[in-house]
Amino acid sequence: MESLEQIKIRLEAAVPGAQVEILSNDSPSAQRSLLPDRAHAFAVARFLRDDPQLCLDYCSNVTGVDWPEMEISLKVKVKKVIEGVEKEVEEVTKTLRPGFLEVVYHLYSMAMKHGPLILRVRTGNRHDQVQMPSFTPVWRSCEFQEREVYDLFGVVFDGHPDLRRILMWDEFKDHPMRKDYCEPDDYEYEPTPHDDVLEKAKRHPSAEVTP
């Protein structure tokens, strides 16, 4: 398979207006990934599937990642005059990175027998800009996995054929895989609370718990 640099160049030429970033990975696998801008993500996905050199016709895995707002510290070297002498010193600058949700797709070519190519798409934030295009019309295997990401992280997939909860029940509130998720303490859905669940249920103001 081509390098990500080569794929990026061809992608941006084939999809007018698309902006694609190559993301590094500090984990032991060191697998880099492609991050297209959200507006062109669906067109990018179709290119990856339909391009004869890539033919990425199978999506094996769809996962969600929650990235809360975070302060990032960066060390920079600056020149300063100290006691009349110009010296290069190291300073720490801090910036605030807004939070967002991310969906990660692992793509393979069954026809060409290569992969994976890792594709990432990010939401605008974690609150009121959580939409992104569904890739189910491109790769049928995404359907249930995107539903799982919707259920557990709260990503809304525009164009999904059947977007509804798949693990939690319809009346359930919030998204359990968010990093700021707080589990309930009443456990009204638990008919026979016991151990830690029983203790939490007892502490709830309206609890009427029979062990």
Instruction: For the chain, list the domains and their CATH numbers.
Output: 4-66+101-167 (3.30.460.80), 181-211 (no CATH)
Instruction: Give residue 78's pLDDT.
Output: 82
Q: Is 33 left (phi over 0), alpha (psi -120 to 50) or beta?
A: beta
pTM for the complete prediction? Answer: 0.83
Q: What is the DSSP letter of 40?
A: G
CB contact set of 206 (below 8 Å; sequence gap of 6+): 186
- Of the candidates 28, 42, 67, 17, the one whose C-alpha atom is nearest the C-alpha of residue 119 is 42
116 prior amide bond cis, ω within 30: yes
**Phi, psi torsion values for 67, nearest 5 degrees:** -115, 95
Instruction: Give residue 171's pLDDT.
Output: 86
Residue at 91: amino acid letter: E
Mean pLDDT per 10-residue interval, the chain, length 211 residues: 95 96 88 96 98 97 96 83 80 89 98 96 96 98 98 98 94 92 70 73 62 51
Radius of gyration for the chain, computed over Cα atoms and rounded to the nearest angstrom? 23
Instruction: Give residue 87's pLDDT.
Output: 81
Instruction: Give residue 189's pLDDT.
Output: 60
- Of the candidates 46, 47, 44, the one whose C-alpha atom is nearest the C-alpha of residue 36 is 44
What helix, strand, coil percent values describe the chain, rounded to 5?
20, 35, 45
Instruction: Give residue 83's pLDDT.
Output: 76
